[in-house]
Structure 1
């Protein structure tokens, strides 16, 4: 980064401040406490949770209620991604595989179902659900091979299927998702707190809705596999073509609260942008599609702003969220946010003074160690000086090494929250 001008550094720092504001707005330590009911005086509070934000949500519960304060005893279990844990006192934290489930994912699901079944009518089940829970809480339905389920999910991830379709298949092949954890709670009161990472913010889709009844069907899951050219293994095909199963039924009181969304993170960034004298253009938190296609659309909007002052004039910042996808064609490294930026670098090469940041709010872009990356008007020239071709790196899905060579990766470590992608394009 030694070749960057002071103005480049300043604009990049501003983008990073916008991202930090977006993440802070959806931090569980900020949003969980105000959503909690009064701590019950009797019975037990059993905390169950799954997702990248689950451990920090559990910590927020302990901080809000106090581990030794009067009232119902608080205990429980949450599962999060490896490296995303927190030091809690009464609520156990397990770590498991993501985006591919592992033996720890299965063990967490078994223990959680056992805790749910232990609840009585006088108990409160507090379920803490966030993105990533689908892989972290994995227990195949009876008759489905664990290896077969993992293989199907891996193929869906590899081919770039939308998250809603992936989670439809996951719910149908699960013994705990699609409301089955909620059903196991019996007559106990169940309160589900959700931090959403899905476009549209449907709580039943986040982590495949372990406490919410599944509105999809086995036929729909089978159609998803066929649509993406995936031949289901024998145990999966047999299960999805079996006679219709009985519906999942919840017997006790059920309540769901949506705590944090991509929209909230974008609004926090927009407020800070206004403070810096920038007009924010909000494209919304529900954008989906191939990363490189979404990048082309963003480049077109930036070009219209620069050329015609429409739909607003610079200085401004374009803000968007959601979950793009990457169809893997090459053997490179890089998540969807780095791929978005690499495609934007090419599609917006003719847009003067374009700065951009794209990061995953959980701090991990796909399976890499970076949250995302930064782009500025000097990026392509600096890459060329190093003998790097943006086009060739994009063809290989190798955005990680492109931005790493420029020292333009954004490294935050796990943020312990997750409302999916955050993108900001700055035009002065």
Structure 2
């Protein structure tokens, strides 16, 4: 693989490789045990869950089960029922499907086996509000959290304590059946308790922490939510709970694997990869400025004949909504990066979400190169204004620089790559 003459196509190839190695058809079969005797029930939720179910049936054959995935991410299964629902804001379809899933697992007993397939996106797709919280109220809080700029772990802490299914409660409903949960991680640190808000994992966070987060973010709470929090939350289980004693949780794909696969591909093209980390968090535009400054320092240190350098990073950046534009953390990172680099020769970059969805748009992200700002201004676009309005997707759509792979059927978080070439003279 080479990037000579077309750095952005090289970067798109790296992104494609990062997605490829996280394909559930590769990682699920390797993690499956021999199919147990007796009744087996397959359940799951998340953007990768339907592809995971497809992978299970490729090994075990048709199975009984129910999986909830995002609109457009369904896969053909011979036995497992696949239901599509709304993401990132939950809807009635997710609510009804989650109720059906709880009914399915509640009838299990000793000797039965549950295979749970969990990936990022399960937080919004597994919907069963605690207490008297309505779906409309749950959606309003979810939207407020998404617009607040809060990191994913804080959002999940709140979601758990307002739910009947998160924080180990789905696994508890399956007790005393045995359960194996296979997970594809989209969270910094790959903690199973935070992947999809941990429906099969006990949790040590407290209601007080959730209240503190909501207070700090100044999110208005209806009386139903206040009542649930005042009563101790929705029933999150501690890690050592007896009803979780028959559960094994296993992470089978993670951002670090995708970054390393991209790094290996870069090495094969005589590019020096430097992995900055797979758990980078923070405001997208601020992370972009930091990485731009680092890239510029490297650019200044390179001499003619040196190998190009590739900065790779993953994690989950956030966006605090200040305007009414259409954007997402990856496109916002790319736009802020372009502004910070200010057309520096020899630096190109890509920022995409591996699930193919950046924010709420069916766009993975965007690419930039030294001509990005000049081309935009030639079209009469003001890049700084687009950034101020959180309208990064519209900006890159106008330039034709969006990355739109369609449903990738997996989800191992953000992928960012900055290619730095030495001077030609």
- What's the TM-score bracket when you normalise by the shorter of the two chains? over 0.9
1:314 offset after TM fit, Å? 4.6
Answer whether contact 1:188 1:252 (CA < 8 A) is retained. no
Match in the other structure for 1:239:
228
TM-superposed deviation, 1:227: 1.0
Q: How far 1:247 moved relative to its partner?
A: 6.3
Give the equivalent residue in structure 2 for 1:269.
262
The residue aligned with 1:50 is: 45
**Distance in 2, Cα, partners of 1:185 & 1:309:** 58
Is 1:52–1:84's contact at 8 Å kept on the other side of the alignment? yes
Contact residue 161 and residue 235 of structure 2 kept, 8 A: no
Preserved contact between residue 160 and residue 325 of structure 1 (Cα < 8 Å): yes
Q: Name the structure 1 match of 2:271.
A: 278
Candidates 342, 353, 356, aligned match of 1:360: 353
Deviations 1:305-333 (A, max 9, x none): 011249xx651110001110011111111
TM-score (norm 1): 0.94
Q: Does 1:294 align with 2:287?
A: yes
Q: Does the 8 Å contact 2:160/2:236 carry over to 1? A: no
| Cα 1:208–1:144 shift into 2, 3 Å | same
- 2-structure distance, mates of 1:328, 1:246: 32
Task: Write out per-residue CA displacement over residues 232-258 of structure 1, whole angstroms, 9 at most, x where no aligned residue.
Answer: 211111111125887634155211111
2:167 maps to which of 178, 187, 190: 178
Deviation at 1:154, TM superposition (A): 1.2
3-state SS of 2:6 partner:
helix
In structure 1, distance between residues paired with 2:6 and 2:337: 21
1:70-102 deviation digits (Å, cap 9, x = unpaired): xxxx21000000011001111000000100000
Name 1:71's counterpart in structure 2: none
* The 10-residue stretch of structure 1 (121-130 or 237-246) with the greater mean CA deviation from structure 2: 237-246
CA contact (8 A) 1:194 1:257 kept: yes
Q: Work out the CA distance in 1 between the residues paired with 2:194 and 2:394.
A: 33
**Distance in 2 between residues matched to 1:383 and 1:397, nearest whole Å:** 16
Q: Which residue does the alignment assign to 2:382?
A: 389
Alignment partner, residue 11 of structure 1? 7
Q: Displacement of 1:284 after TM fit?
A: 1.1
Distance 1:245 1:267, change over 3 A: closer
Contact 1:321 1:422 in 2 (8 A): yes
Out of 232, 235, 250, the residue aligned to residue 257 of structure 1 is 250
Matched, 1:65 2:60: yes
Deviations 1:30-79 (A, max 9, x none): 10000000111x21110010000000000000001223xxxxxx210000
Runs (4+) of structure 1 moved beyond 6 Å?
Answer: 244-247
1:271 and 1:60 map into 2 onto residues whose CA distance is 26
Distance in 2 between the 1:382 and 1:8 partners?
A: 21
Q: 1:213 aligns with which of 202, 209, 221?
A: 202
The structure-2 alpha-carbon separation of the partners of 1:391 and 1:8, relative to structure 1 and needing over 3 Å to count, comes to farther
Structure 2 residue aligned with 1:70: none
Q: Deviations over 1:192-251 (max 9, x none)?
A: 000000001101101111111121111111111001111321111111112588763415
Counterparts of 1:71-220 in structure 2, within 5 Å, are 74-220=63-209
SS of structure 1 residue aligned to 2:179:
strand
Q: Deviations over 1:356-405 (max 9, x none)?
A: 01100001111112111110111111111111111111111111111111
- Which residue number in structure 1 is paired with residue 400 of structure 2? 407
Q: Which range moves more in the overlay, 267-276 or 328-337?
A: 328-337
| 1:226 alignment partner in structure 2 | 215
**Aligned counterparts of 2:235 and 2:7: Cα–Cα separation in 1:** 57
| Secondary structure of residue in 2 paired with 1:232 | coil
CA distance in 1, matches of 2:395, 2:235: 51
